[in-house]
Structure 1
Amino acid sequence: MKKKSIFTALIAMALQSGSLLNAQQLNPTGICYVEVNNNNILNAGAYKLQTSNSYLFNVVNIFAANINYDTSRGRAYLYSNNNVTKVLTNADTYIKPLQQKGMKVVLTILGNHQGAGICNFPTREAAKDFALQLANTVNTYGLDGIDFDDEYSEYGKNGTGQPNDSSFVMLVQELRALLPDKIISFYYYGDAASRLSWNGARVGDNVNYSWNAMYGTFSAPNVPPLTKAQISPAAVWMGNTSNSTTTSLATQTKNGGYGVFMWYDLHGTNESSQLSAGTQTLYGQPTVLSGSLQSWTAGVNCDAPIGLYTSNLTGTSAKLNWSAAATNSYDIDYKPASSTTWTNAASAVNATSVTVSGLTANTEYDWRIRTNCSVKSAYMFAPRFNSGSGTTTPSGSYSLSLDGSSESGAAGNLNLSGSALSFEGWIKPSSFKSTSPYISSVMGTEIGDSNSALLRLGDAGLANNKLQFVVSINNVQQKLASATALNANTWYHVAATYDGSTMKLYINGVLNASKAQTGNISSNGAFNVGYSYNTSRNFNGKIDEVRVWKKALTQTEISQNMCNVSLPASSLAAYWKFNEGSGSTVQDSSGNGASLTLTGVDASNWGTDLPCATGTSKLSRNTENQREIGSEQINNKNQIKLYPNPVSKSSSFTVSVPDNYNKGKLMIYDLNGRLIDTKSLNAGSNHYDLNGLSSGNYILQFESQNGSAKQTEKIMVK
């Protein structure tokens, strides 16, 4: 018979750093699960061994909190129902009394039919985010650890991914780093039982115990490198496993030299008879009821809000955002990630955001929120954020470099289904994939053939340096490839659009390929930049100014706004400028809160190799008299944009001219200060041929008609 739904609270009986358990530690260690939806957890402290007067249970598992899925943010989050909430928020009543008797109290984590589970975190950052939620919960409520049970997740639901080999390994690695001296245990069941190693790392390296998931049977979990001392092959379901079977399981445990014995579903009635059927064999003495049994009254429903994200980072302040949970008020706290002390940001507020100030620049912060009902909800913990540098930089002042293997960005869930869509951004490929399927993912969602929208380079049967736009239309993937192949180490503005009748690809603002197609887009799921499906398809190169639109951009809109977009902008779903210059988070400038969480990046990934001019350069153009052409400091809105840069000598470049430069002029100089050419400027997008210029660097001076505005840039011709 399959286990009921017990979340295995693996007891950390003996971490290498020292024993976690009380002085009355039994051998084998006694593990107890309490279904708090029906029973009072305090009853675990009512049973003792008759002769030694030792408490029977060493570890008590709160069964169970859940892994839920926030579809608006594409994020797995820790959820506590009304009864788990009652236990946690009343820790002095339900948790500390057991700990004072020498017991450890652990929280079990279980799937909840929403697609999220311990086996389908798509990236390390996603696994770390959930591990942070668990660690903050343990520390906030004074718990002794976390127990994992891989049941009821319904992987793939709500656009989530299927199980993968790396997820559970990454999760326990991150959790162990955050909770070095706490219990981490594993109920041996589900997909997790067959996904215990990845890239040489093992789940067993970071958990303390595991046990059998099939009640009434004797079967030792295989979780290397755990030893017999850390394993319970026996599984007893109170009231369902017979006393004779309980005795048999105890005998096999004792004779086999195993160090753990697990009891599931302790009730509020006297269980001493069945407990004695096991303890007489295990410890040579019966179990007695030594205290009063406690009844249980269900907790009041009060959920914490979801949809948590951070915006408006200035270095010293940040805006904390959430979705309303009915008409309740909220309490919000924050702290530096390195601190254990929370600071209150606001209490009993009825808004859906609050701004905190006095932050330290370039510092990681955590924040949490709870709902005020007639009771308090459990805390919900937001994704960790970096306060930022506190400096204001022009558009495109940084770009991000990705290595093509372990580095990428995750934006959470984006629902792009509908009749129109556009992707655009700047890319500078460093190399193209040389092995099948020859794909380098730029951006998008790919849950399956019937749920996808992505822009990438290459495909099976397509050159690895050609663009490909892939969209699920009428639940079938439709593909459009570019006519032009891209070169390595060259900046390109790439864009893909669909308007309900035609798929189009643009390179540097020029239409490159199109395909007639009708129908609606089906794309709703995890959106990534530089990654799709698996890391073998990661993009290798630099990326900047990435935007997602729920409309089809026109060629004019694309060509005139390649370097920047005025905000707010209608139908803009996400906009990542990559102006942070540091950290592992890229803010969403669209206002929709789709922050990009970066995996594997550090300071070396950020650089100033840019596709667009910043308008703040000062370059020498005359070596004889050291005459300088100085640029004026200009507001971004009135700044000339130049692209691509570098540019091929057989091609052309585009200058996006704001109104204040209309009817002005462009002068092109070589680096010796010699005037090469003069051209007129018109407001809008101006395309200029290079007229056979040789390879090298040139200086471009822009001047308005009345001479009041000037700007100087450098362009490289390759």
Structure 2
Amino acid sequence: MKKAITLMIVMIINAIPVLNAQQLNPTGICYVEVNNNNLLNAGSYKLQTSGKYLFNVVNIFAANINYDSSRSRPYLYCNNNVTKVLTNADTYIKPLQAKGMKVVLTILGNHQGAGLCNFPTREAARDFAQQLAHTVNTYGLDGIDFDDEYSDYGQNGTGQPNASSFVMLVQELKALLPDKLITFYYFGPAASRLSWNGLRVGDYINYSWNAMYGTFSAPNVPPLTNAQISPAAVWMGNTSSSTTTSLATQTKNGGYGVFMWYDLHGTNETSQLSAGTQTLYGEQTVLSTPLQSWTQGANCDAPIGLFTGNLTGTGARLNWSAVGANTYDVDYKPAASTVWTNAVTATTATSVTLSGLAANTEYDWRIRTNCSVKSTYIFAPRFNSGSGAASPGSASLSLDGSTESGTAGNLNLSGSALSFEGWIKPSSFKSASPYISSLMGTEVGDSNSALLRLGDANIANNKLQFVLSINNVQQKLTAATALTANTWYHVAATYDGSTMKIYINGVLDASKSQTGPVNSSGAFNVGYSYSTSRNFNGKIDEVRIWKKALTQTEISQNMCNVTAPATSLAAYWKFNEGSGATVQDNSGNGVTLTLTGVDASNWGTDIPCTTAQQLSSTARTRKAAGLEETAAQEQIKLYPNPLSIPSPLIISVPEEYSKGKLTVYNFNGTVLETKTLNPGNNPYDFSGLKMGNYIIQFESQNGNLKQTEKLIVK
């Protein structure tokens, strides 16, 4: 069964909108399963005497929250039938709106681990809220309905439900859609996660209804009043007429303002509807127009794997993953604008380069697939064009150790593995107790922390310390090497569930055996912890957060640059802006670093990696006009090699190749397996092979690379 705001703002948010001139009391809510039924049938039912339409709000059931594991990003997915409804809004949506009805899109989990309740940060919640708002505005919808079912939290490495996620999502969505409906089907983990940090879901939604069909139970969503709640839940064809009448009687006697009907079919439903409306409104329900049949929509999925790179201040490259042998339409716009500009139509490519952008400006972009029909649009993470004041790779940020720092908002780093890395150039070390210079991390308390810093009360102020909360206790690992002021160092700290490690300049410096999950969820800061007395004094560059334990090979080979997208890369700040008070996230996850106390004097061109070093890490350079050319053709990487079974082999495919074919041979030349690989780090299970030598051949889809490597399995 389908299961510190001012008082004025709260009053505005909770005001029940006037839906139409013939508003019923109670308001009629209807769900239509568009996989099998025509949405237009909701407009066929009227009350016999007054001639009022029975349904005031019609829910399109349902679009989904899917999960793009290549980008670690929840995205809005529309199947073939939802796509048919939205892309033909003139046929299926506007006729209902012309009758005074509101048409709302229901959002439902899809067994992929993404749901309403596990957005790890406000930035992630905002990104999904922006996707929803763009969809509402693009297709002329009247709002969003949330249903927290079928998410299968934890799948695809996603997190479990947390307290802040649902509140942040509806708060961000209401800010984007202040005049639209937001409603909640009262079920699932979201029903028990309705408040956080003084904020309430009920402050940002208009209605909620009972999810248990055939029962009468009022959802508890403070501060919603009875006028905004449906305790009754009727499943058409499954709830008996006598029960429907009983539910209607209880609704009327209780003074409730909403009555919810689920699963309106394409057959005459006037008998069961009348069992409710006779009590609710004193009228029978009649058909005013013939019912319409439904033909399934054609399959056409929008591409995923969306990310933005090559930000130059006036230009950017938009990237996506191919969906079969189709073409794509791409549009973009400044975030503050409502007008989309077409970037390319019917392209077969998987990227497009924009030029002529305004510097330091937020932009949105969208893409759809052209099949025999058109897919719905999928909306990419918002990006900032950058300043253009410093060429890529030529800037770093200096912090004064007192008032200057950065915050990325709340990040959930809890789990069995993580890594921190970045470049630092200390100007000085703390000379007073507790002798701590905070580099990066979260520290809510002893039982909730993950951070990397210099010094501690009992260690030298110029030694790295890695701190993790495991089993409610802060576990600390101290480096053996003392750092020198005014010297660039690449520092990294990793945890794989069994060992904490510190690396300096790609070399293992210290390790400590430790088991148990990390507990870290809260404000993630750079150059600051919970006291400005612990602020870092020095320069910082190339900061990355990973939700995995990096290997020494990964650290040492990628100190100067990482090609995004990359598996488990949670946030990546290059500090290439060269000006301004924000640092953009190059991971594609939209985790912007907001700076405090900085001005133009904090930005400089003293950097740890020269252009030549960055090219050796990316094997790529660019022409002055912004076009790419290969300086030294980038190769795939295999690690570890030799490989010890049962560890998986990681095959790292450069971003520029889009995808390619992998072929595995034995030394006799026999093909053992072929497989398609995407950009990024691809795990490959060799546990079925015997010890020995093998040949690995990779051929890129565009034909630019054909590489052969020897693999030793032991």
Fold-level match, TM-score > 0.5?
A: yes
Question: What's the counterpart of residue 126 of structure 1?
Answer: 124
Cα displacement (A) at 1:425: 2.5
Question: Is the 8 Å Cα contact of residues 439 and 536 (structure 2) preserved in structure 1?
Answer: no
Question: Is the 8 Å Cα contact of residues 399 and 602 (structure 2) preserved in structure 1?
Answer: no
Which has the higher mean CA deviation after the structures are superposed, 601-610 or 360-369? 601-610
Q: 1:240 aligns with which of 234, 238, 241?
A: 238
Question: What's the counterpart of residue 326 of structure 1?
Answer: 324
Question: What's the counterpart of residue 160 of structure 1?
Answer: 158
Distance (whole Å) between structure 2 residues aligned to residue 479 and residue 341 of structure 1? 52
The letter of the residue matching 2:407 is E
Question: What's the counterpart of residue 482 of structure 1?
Answer: 479
Which has the higher mean CA deviation after the structures are superposed, 478-487 or 193-202? 478-487
3-state SS of 1:68 partner: strand
Q: Does 1:496 align with 2:495?
A: no
Distance (whole Å) between structure 1 residues aligned to residue 37 and residue 598 of structure 2? 52
Distance (whole Å) between structure 2 residues aligned to residue 304 and residue 241 of structure 1? 37
3-state SS of 2:295 partner: coil
Distance (whole Å) between structure 1 residues aligned to residue 437 and residue 42 of structure 2? 56
Q: Does 1:545 align with 2:544?
A: no
The CA deviation string for residues 405-443 of structure 1, in whole angstroms up to 9 with x for no partner, is 992279999x9999xx993432769999x99xx997836
The letter of the residue matching 1:597 is V
Residues 293/417 of structure 1: CA separation in 2 closer, same or farther (3 Å cut): same
Distance (whole Å) between structure 2 residues aligned to residue 442 and residue 146 of structure 1? 37
Question: What's the counterpart of residue 224 of structure 1?
Answer: 222
Cα displacement (A) at 1:236: 0.6
3-state SS of 2:331 partner: strand
Question: Is the 8 Å Cα contact of residues 30 and 59 (structure 2) preserved in structure 1?
Answer: yes
Question: What's the counterpart of residue 597 of structure 1?
Answer: 591
Question: What's the counterpart of residue 576 of structure 2?
Answer: 579
Residues 356/528 of structure 1: CA separation in 2 closer, same or farther (3 Å cut): farther
Question: What's the counterpart of residue 613 of structure 1?
Answer: 606
What's the Cα RMSD here? 5.1
Question: Is the 8 Å Cα contact of residues 252 and 280 (structure 2) preserved in structure 1?
Answer: yes
Distance (whole Å) between structure 2 residues aligned to residue 462 and residue 517 of structure 1? 20
Matches within 5 A, 1:4-153: 4-5=2-3, 19-153=17-151
Cα displacement (A) at 1:638: 10
Residues 360/17 of structure 1: CA separation in 2 closer, same or farther (3 Å cut): farther
Distance (whole Å) between structure 2 residues aligned to residue 122 and residue 431 of structure 1? 33
Residues 254/302 of structure 1: CA separation in 2 closer, same or farther (3 Å cut): same
Question: What's the counterpart of residue 349 of structure 1?
Answer: 347
3-state SS of 2:106 partner: strand
Question: What's the counterpart of residue 514 of structure 1?
Answer: 510
Question: Is the 8 Å Cα contact of residues 31 and 59 (structure 2) preserved in structure 1?
Answer: yes
Residues 506/635 of structure 1: CA separation in 2 closer, same or farther (3 Å cut): closer
The CA deviation string for residues 518-545 of structure 1, in whole angstroms up to 9 with x for no partner, is 99xx99x9999749xxx98999657722
Distance (whole Å) between structure 1 residues aligned to residue 400 and residue 262 of structure 2? 51
Question: Is the 8 Å Cα contact of residues 405 and 537 (structure 1) preserved in structure 2?
Answer: no
Question: Is the 8 Å Cα contact of residues 331 and 344 (structure 2) preserved in structure 1?
Answer: yes
The letter of the residue matching 1:456 is L
Question: What's the counterpart of residue 175 of structure 1?
Answer: 173
Question: Is the 8 Å Cα contact of residues 427 and 541 (structure 1) preserved in structure 2?
Answer: no
Distance (whole Å) between structure 2 residues aligned to residue 49 and residue 565 of structure 1? 66
Distance (whole Å) between structure 1 residues aligned to residue 37 and residue 94 of structure 2? 17
Question: Is the 8 Å Cα contact of residues 494 and 505 (structure 1) preserved in structure 2?
Answer: no
Residues 308/290 of structure 1: CA separation in 2 closer, same or farther (3 Å cut): same
Distance (whole Å) between structure 1 residues aligned to residue 382 and residue 551 of structure 2? 31
Residues 257/471 of structure 1: CA separation in 2 closer, same or farther (3 Å cut): closer
3-state SS of 2:104 partner: strand
Residues 551/527 of structure 1: CA separation in 2 closer, same or farther (3 Å cut): farther
Question: Is the 8 Å Cα contact of residues 220 and 231 (structure 1) preserved in structure 2?
Answer: yes
Question: Is the 8 Å Cα contact of residues 329 and 371 (structure 1) preserved in structure 2?
Answer: yes
Residues 540/253 of structure 1: CA separation in 2 closer, same or farther (3 Å cut): farther
Distance (whole Å) between structure 2 residues aligned to residue 196 and residue 422 of structure 1? 33
Distance (whole Å) between structure 1 residues aligned to residue 477 and residue 51 of structure 2? 75
Question: Is the 8 Å Cα contact of residues 400 and 578 (structure 1) preserved in structure 2?
Answer: no
Q: 2:279 aligns with which of 274, 278, 281?
A: 281
Residues 537/166 of structure 1: CA separation in 2 closer, same or farther (3 Å cut): farther
Q: Does 1:215 align with 2:213?
A: yes
Distance (whole Å) between structure 2 residues aligned to residue 239 and residue 612 of structure 1? 70
The CA deviation string for residues 150-179 of structure 1, in whole angstroms up to 9 with x for no partner, is 111122221212212211111111111111
Distance (whole Å) between structure 1 residues aligned to residue 65 and residue 561 of structure 2? 38
3-state SS of 2:215 partner: coil
Structure with max Cα Rg = 1
Distance (whole Å) between structure 2 residues aligned to residue 499 and residue 223 of structure 1? 40
Cα displacement (A) at 1:294: 1.0
Residues 14/37 of structure 1: CA separation in 2 closer, same or farther (3 Å cut): farther
Cα displacement (A) at 1:326: 1.4
Matches within 5 A, 1:607-646: 608-609=601-602, 613=606
Cα displacement (A) at 1:192: 1.2
Distance (whole Å) between structure 1 residues aligned to residue 347 and residue 45 of structure 2? 45
Residues 318/247 of structure 1: CA separation in 2 closer, same or farther (3 Å cut): same
3-state SS of 1:407 partner: strand
Residues 499/244 of structure 1: CA separation in 2 closer, same or farther (3 Å cut): closer
Question: What's the counterpart of residue 297 of structure 2?
Answer: 299
3-state SS of 1:102 partner: coil
Residues 207/50 of structure 1: CA separation in 2 closer, same or farther (3 Å cut): same
Distance (whole Å) between structure 2 residues aligned to residue 105 and residue 566 of structure 1? 44
Cα displacement (A) at 1:479: 7.8
Residue-pair matches, total: 586
Question: Is the 8 Å Cα contact of residues 400 and 607 (structure 1) preserved in structure 2?
Answer: no
Cα displacement (A) at 1:94: 0.6
Matches within 5 A, 1:252-263: 252-263=250-261
Question: What's the counterpart of residue 395 of structure 2?
Answer: 396
Question: Is the 8 Å Cα contact of residues 422 and 553 (structure 1) preserved in structure 2?
Answer: no
Question: Is the 8 Å Cα contact of residues 401 and 607 (structure 1) preserved in structure 2?
Answer: no
Question: What's the counterpart of residue 187 of structure 1?
Answer: 185
The letter of the residue matching 2:132 is L
Question: Is the 8 Å Cα contact of residues 74 and 412 (structure 1) preserved in structure 2?
Answer: no
Cα displacement (A) at 1:214: 1.0
The CA deviation string for residues 190-215 of structure 1, in whole angstroms up to 9 with x for no partner, is 11111111121111111101111111
Q: Name the TM-score, length of structure 1 as normaliser.
A: 0.70
Residues 546/317 of structure 1: CA separation in 2 closer, same or farther (3 Å cut): closer
Instruction: Name structure 1 gaps, 5 residues minimum.
Output: 6-12, 616-633, 640-718
Question: Is the 8 Å Cα contact of residues 335 and 343 (structure 1) preserved in structure 2?
Answer: yes
Distance (whole Å) between structure 2 residues aligned to residue 431 and residue 193 of structure 1? 47
Distance (whole Å) between structure 1 residues aligned to residue 536 and residue 161 of structure 2? 29
Residues 322/400 of structure 1: CA separation in 2 closer, same or farther (3 Å cut): farther
Residues 278/430 of structure 1: CA separation in 2 closer, same or farther (3 Å cut): farther
Question: Is the 8 Å Cα contact of residues 71 and 589 (structure 2) preserved in structure 1?
Answer: no
Question: Is the 8 Å Cα contact of residues 218 and 230 (structure 2) preserved in structure 1?
Answer: yes
Question: Is the 8 Å Cα contact of residues 363 and 387 (structure 1) preserved in structure 2?
Answer: yes
Question: What's the counterpart of residue 334 of structure 2?
Answer: 336
Distance (whole Å) between structure 2 residues aligned to residue 183 and residue 120 of structure 1? 23
Distance (whole Å) between structure 1 residues aligned to residue 591 and residue 290 of structure 2? 51
Cα displacement (A) at 1:360: 1.3
Matches within 5 A, 1:608-687: 608-609=601-602, 613=606
Question: Is the 8 Å Cα contact of residues 582 and 603 (structure 1) preserved in structure 2?
Answer: no
3-state SS of 1:545 partner: strand
The CA deviation string for residues 360-402 of structure 1, in whole angstroms up to 9 with x for no partner, is 1111111100000100000000111111112225633435799
